[in-house]
Amino acid sequence: MILEQLAGNLIQGLVLGAIYGMATMGLSLIFGVLKVVNVGHGAFIMVGAFITLWLFTALGINPIFALPFAFAIGLGIGFLFYYMAMQRLIKAPELATLLATFAMGMLLEEIVKLIAGSEFRGYNWAVGKINIGITVLPMTKIYACIGSVLVAVLLYIWFKKTRAGTAMRSVVEDDEGARVCGVNVGSVYALSFAIGIGLTTLSGVLLTMFIPVGINPYMGGGYTLKAFVIAVLGGLASPYGAFFGGLVFGLIENGSYTLFALLPGVEPFALTRFLSFVILLLILLIRPTGLLKAK
């Protein structure tokens, strides 16, 4: 019985891990190109979640069609924040960029709080379930997983097959060399930041398709922590590593929850969060570069 439950939770964890990986790709992309750690990461996920909620409840638009809206709005926010603040902080000390991204996250949280209030919200998008024997998977979770994989594949193709993607990779390798070769490095920085924020906002849609409750302006804190663990696990500057790191983290999180639930007198969810910190510490000690190096 326990083994069957563990196997079912691992499958759920693999599906969730794909979404976690997608949610971390934007964080890794921004760090890989701009060398900026976005500590306001979770707030942009929250924006995507609220876009999904508003479109679904107010207009009846299902979450799948919320994806392009969220990405477009994320792009716009990314360009706005880049030209308002981040452009002036490129090559600045790390503390300056940390404070700037932290302020961005707080600003978004307070704006959404003023508009929507601070109460928890959710929505119900019932489109059926699939019973695979050891677990039951709602179709919403399957759609979210497929969407995550498709976005990751499209990002890979964009990096490899487009001039903008090639320019971005050249800036990651050597920004001065790219500038000498005629690449507009400033435009690449702006586009990278905007795409990173757009992907993060889009991931908020996918996360609500997996967990359509608990939507509130301050929901992003837990996702920021997980994103940092996943990013370090996969290589902080590697978007592809982040995706595979998310798969690993999803398996660990759901698998450990099943095992922690067997321990008397403990709260399994709290222990899985503690385990996140332990994983982060161990990776930093044993393999600071993560599973994959930046590319």
Domains of the chain: 7-119+136-286 (1.10.3470.10)
Q: What is the spatial distance between Cα 234 and Cα 220, in angstroms, rounded to a whole number?
A: 21
pTM as predicted: 0.90
Query: What does the pLDDT read at residue 257?
Result: 78
**223 and 207 in contact (C-beta within 8 Å)?**
yes
Q: What is the spatial distance between Cα 269 and Cα 257, in angstroms, rounded to a whole number?
A: 7
Q: What is the spatial distance between Cα 135 and Cα 8, in angstroms, rounded to a whole number?
A: 5
* Residue found by looking up tokens 């070769």 in the block: 181
CB neighbours of residue 8 within 10 Å: 18
Query: What does the pLDDT read at residue 136?
Result: 84
CA–centroid distance for 161 within its chain: 24
Q: What is the spatial distance between Cα 128 and Cα 140, in angstroms, rounded to a whole number?
A: 8
Between the two ends of the chain, the Cα-to-Cα distance in Å is 43
pLDDT tens sequence for the chain (295 residues) = 677 777 888 898 899 999 999 999 999 999 988 888 899 999 999 999 999 999 999 898 989 999 999 999 999 999 999 999 999 888 888 889 999 999 999 999 999 999 999 899 999 888 888 888 788 888 999 999 999 999 999 999 998 888 888 888 888 888 888 888 888 988 999 999 999 999 999 999 999 998 889 999 999 988 998 898 888 888 777 888 889 889 988 888 888 877 787 778 777 777 887 887 787 788 778 777 666 554 4
Q: What is the spatial distance between Cα 257 and Cα 262, in angstroms, rounded to a whole number?
A: 9
Torsion of CA 240, 244, 250, 253, to 10 degrees: -110
Query: What does the pLDDT read at residue 55?
Result: 94
CB neighbours of residue 45 within 10 Å: 26
Say whether 90 sits in a helix, a strand or coil.
coil
**245 and 24 in contact (C-beta within 8 Å)?**
yes
- Pairing state of beta strands 136-138 and 129-131? antiparallel
Closest C-alpha among 86, 87, 54 to residue 70: 54
Residue 128: partners with Cβ closer than 8 Å, 6 or more residues away: 138, 139
**210 and 140 in contact (C-beta within 8 Å)?**
yes
Q: What is the spatial distance between Cα 23 and Cα 134, in angstroms, rounded to a whole number?
A: 27
Alpha helices in the chain (DSSP H): 2-34, 41-59, 63-84, 94-116, 139-161, 163-173, 175-180, 185-210, 220-234, 239-260, 268-286
Phi first, then psi, for residue 195 (nearest 5°) are: -65, -40
Query: What does the pLDDT read at residue 153?
Result: 93
Q: What is the spatial distance between Cα 286 and Cα 104, in angstroms, rounded to a whole number?
A: 33
